[in-house]
Amino acid sequence: MTRLSTIVIAGAGQAGFQAAASLRQAGFRGELCLVGDEAGLPYQRPPLSKAYLSGKLSREGLLFRAKAFFSDNDIRVIDNTRVTKLDRLSKRVMLSSGEALHYDHLILALGARNRALAVEGRDLDGVFGLRTVADVDRLRVRLKSAGQIVVVGAGFIGGEFAAVASALGKSVLMLEAADRVMGRAVSADMSEFFHRAYAQWGVHLVLGHQLKRIVGQNGSVSGIVTEQGLSAPADVIVYGIGAMPNVELAVDAGLEAANGIRVNDQLVTSDPAISAIGDCSCWPAPYAGCDIRLESVQNAADQGRAVAARIMGSTKPYSAVPWFWSDQRDVKLQIAGFSPGSDRSIVLGDPEKNSFSVFCFRKGEIVAVESVNRTVDHMAARKLFERTDRELSPDDVCRPGFSLKDCIIAKV
Ligand SMILES: Cc1cc2nc3c(=O)[nH]c(=O)nc-3n(C[C@H](O)[C@H](O)[C@H](O)COP(=O)(O)OP(=O)(O)OC[C@H]3O[C@@H](n4cnc5c(N)ncnc54)[C@H](O)[C@@H]3O)c2cc1C
C-alpha cells in the first residue's frame, strides 16, 4: 500500500482530518486531498453544544489546525464541495464543483446527519438541529431573544444544550420519549443522576412524551403539542433525536452498508481500494461480538490513525477501546468501555457530591465504567479495557477501600 500515489478523503470532519494528518506524519508522500461540504477548515464538533454555544470558545478555537498546517503538509483542502458520486471502475470521485478526482485509495469519512423530526411544523422558523457550526451560529443569534425553549430528546446533545441554555437563564422544557435520560448510552444510575441534575438546574424534564406537532404563528414557532397531550409555548426548539450515517454515496456505488458502511477489521470496505472510518462506518468490534457503529471523537480519531497506519503498511486489526465524554455545567461525564447489554451496575463514590463512578458488568464481566468528575477512575478504566486479562469482579469493586487505579497498578 505504501506505493499509492493519490489518496482522496471524502468528508473533512474529525475522522477525515485525522487520517490526513496521520498519513503525513507517517511519511506518506503522495497526493493527499481532503474534500468537505462545509465551508472553511476542518473543525471539532464537541464544543458546538458546549463552549462554542455558550460563547466561551471562538470560531478559531474550533479548528483542528490553522491554514498553514495544510499548506505546510501539502494537504489540498477542498471545502464547500460535495462528493456527489463514486466511480469505482475508473477510481474517480465526482465533485459538486464539476471537478473529478482520481484516487488510488479513497477514504470515506462522511460522518452522520441528524435524524430529522417527522412532525407537522418542523420547517417553521425557530426549529434547530445542532450539528454544524453554521447551525450553532444561527441558533446563538436566536437564543439571545428566546424566552421559552423546548428541547426534543434528552440524549447527550439535548442534555448539553439544555445545560447551556438553562445556565444562560432561559426557561427550558426538555421532552424525552423514553423513560429515562440518555437511556441508550448510560446506566440507569447515571440517568438518575442527570435527571436530578437537570431538576437542580431548573430544566423542566418531561419523560415518556413524544412530540406530536410544532405549532406556529406567522411562520415562526410558537409552541409544541405531545402525543400524550401536553401543550407548551416555545419560541425556539432544539432537537437531538439521534443520527443517521451518511451511507448513500457508498450504497449507490454498490458498497455493502447497513447501519453504516460495512468495513472489516482493517477498516476496508467491500472494495479493497476504499476504506470507511468514523461515524459513517460499521465495523466488527471484538468487545461487542457484532458489527457496531459509534459516534464519538475517540472512534473517529482512532480510526483515522488506524487507516493511515494500515495504508503505510501495518496489518494490525483495529480494536481500539471506546471512550466518550460529555460536559454539562460542572459535571464531566467520562465513559470507558461499551455498556449496552450490561446487567449489573455498582456505584462507587458520592453522586450527591457530583463525584462517583458506575461500574457496569455483563454476566460478571466488567464492560464499562462511567465516571462523573473522577478522571482518575476514567483513565484507569481505559487502561483496564486495553488489557486482555480484565479480571475485575463485582466482589472486587465492592471490597472496602477499592481503588481502580491501585488495582491496575498492582496488576502491572
Ligand atoms: C454537537 C455535537 C457534540 C458532540 N460532542 C461530543 C463529545 O462531547 N464527545 C464525543 O466523543 N463526541 C461528540 N460528538 C460526536 C463527534 O463529534 C463525532 O462522532 C465526530 O465528529 C465524528 O467524526 P466524523 O469525521 O466521522 O464525522 P464528522 O465530524 O461529522 O465529519 C463528516 C464530514 O463529512 C461531510 N460530508 C458528508 N457527506 C459528504 C459528501 N458527500 N461530500 C463531502 N463532505 C461530506 C460532513 O458534512 C462533515 O463535515 C458530538 C457531535 C455533535 C454534533
Contact 260 CB / ligand 1 (< 6 Å): no
pLDDT tens digits, one per residue of 338-383: 888 899 999 999 999 999 999 999 999 999 999 999 999 999 999 9
How far is residue 234's CA from residue 345's CA, in Å, rounded to a whole number? 38
Whether 199 shows a pLDDT value over 70: the answer reads yes
Would you state the cell numbers that stand for residue 204, as one nine-digit string? 423542566
pLDDT at 3: 65
Contact 49 CB / ligand 1 (< 6 Å): yes
Tell how strand 243-245 and strand 112-114 pair up.
antiparallel
pLDDT tens digits, one per residue of 162-195: 999 999 999 999 999 999 999 989 999 999 999 9
Within 88-125, strands assigned E span 92-95, 100-102, 105-108, 112-114
407: confidence class by pLDDT, cuts 50, 70, 90: confident
Could you tell me what percent of the chain has a pLDDT over 90? 92
When mean pLDDT is compared across 163-172, 202-211, 391-400, the lowest value belongs to: 391-400
| Distance in Å, CA 112 to ligand 1 centroid | 6
Whether 1 shows a pLDDT value over 90: the answer reads no
Would you state the cell numbers that stand for residue 251, as one nine-digit string? 450504497
Which own/partner pairs from 91-94 qualify as long-range (CB within 8 Å, at least 24 positions apart)? Answer: 91/273, 93/8, 93/10, 93/35
How far is residue 185's CA from residue 255's CA, in Å, rounded to a whole number? 29
**DSSP state for residue 121 in the 8-state scheme:** T
Phi-psi region for residue 113, left (φ > 0), alpha (ψ -120 to 50) or beta? beta
412: confidence class by pLDDT, cuts 50, 70, 90: low
C-alpha dist (Å) from residue 55 to 173, 239, 276, 309, 351: 22, 20, 34, 37, 29
Domains contained in the chain, CATH given: 6-113+244-311 (3.50.50.60), 127-241 (3.50.50.60), 330-411 (3.30.390.30)
300: confidence class by pLDDT, cuts 50, 70, 90: very high
Q: What is the mean pLDDT of residues 206-216?
A: 98
Whether 387 shows a pLDDT value over 60: the answer reads yes
Please report the atom of ligand 1 found closest to the CA of residue 42: 49
Length of the chain: 412
Contact 274 CB / ligand 1 (< 6 Å): no
pLDDT at 406: 84
Whether 228 shows a pLDDT value over 70: the answer reads yes
Whether 410 shows a pLDDT value over 80: the answer reads no
How far is residue 36's CA from residue 34's CA, in Å, rounded to a whole number? 7
Q: Are 36 and 78 in contact (CB under 8 A)?
A: yes
Question: For the residues of 221-278, what is the DSSP string, one character each?
Answer: EEEEEETTS-EEE-SEEEE---EEE--HHHHHTT--EESEEE--TTSB-SSTTEEE-G
Contact 110 CB / ligand 1 (< 6 Å): yes
Q: Are 107 and 19 in contact (CB under 8 A)?
A: yes
Judging by beta carbons within 10 Å of its beta carbon (0-12, 13-18, 19+), is residue 120 exposed, middle or buried? middle
pLDDT at 388: 73
Please report the atom of ligand 1 found closest to the CA of residue 131: 53
Q: Are 387 and 412 in contact (CB under 8 A)?
A: no
Whether 21 shows a pLDDT value over 60: the answer reads yes
